Amino acid sequence: MTEQNTPEQPRNVEDAKHDAVPAQFRLAPRFGRVVGTGVVLGLVIGVVIALVLPNTTAVGTFTVAMLIGAGCAILGGVLGGLAAVWLDRSTPKRLKESQRADASDSDD
């Protein structure tokens, strides 16, 4: 059998603080996924609306559903992007508070 190399365990709290690496985290949304979700939701809602409402045009129901669905998909993408930007605005404040809390812990 081979020996497994295990890292040396710190003997006390001061050794652990010395070996600790400060990390930064960011609680930000993934913009592509949020916008993509808005597009898909907008498309589904637009198609459902087009199929439920009466069609008074000379073109087919499928064409009307796709046009209204595409318009709602664009609107959903824009609203999803605005939601992602709004969610991202609070991230730097949380990050700064986290860094301050870590700095005060290291002063002890």
pLDDT of residue 29: 79
Domain annotation covers residue 46? yes
Q: pLDDT tens track of the chain, all 108 residues?
A: 555 666 665 567 776 777 777 776 667 778 999 999 999 999 999 999 999 998 888 888 899 999 999 999 999 999 999 999 988 887 666 565 555 555 555 554
Domain annotation covers residue 76? yes
Domain annotation covers residue 9? no
Cα angle 100, 103, 104; round to 5: 90
Domain annotation covers residue 49? yes
**Whole-prediction pTM:** 0.61
Which residue matches tokens 């796709």?
66
In degrees rounded to 5, what are phi and psi of residue 7? -65, 150
Domain of 47 in residue numbering reads as 29-106
Query: Are 25 and 95 within 8 A, CB to CB?
Result: yes
Please write the tens of the pLDDT for every residue from 55-71.
Answer: 888 888 899 999 999 99
Which residue type, as a one-letter code, is found at position 47? V
pLDDT of residue 74: 97
Domain annotation covers residue 22? no
Domain annotation covers residue 16? no
Which token pair is 108?
A: 């002890």
Domain annotation covers residue 99? yes
- Domains of the chain: total: 1
Domain annotation covers residue 21? no
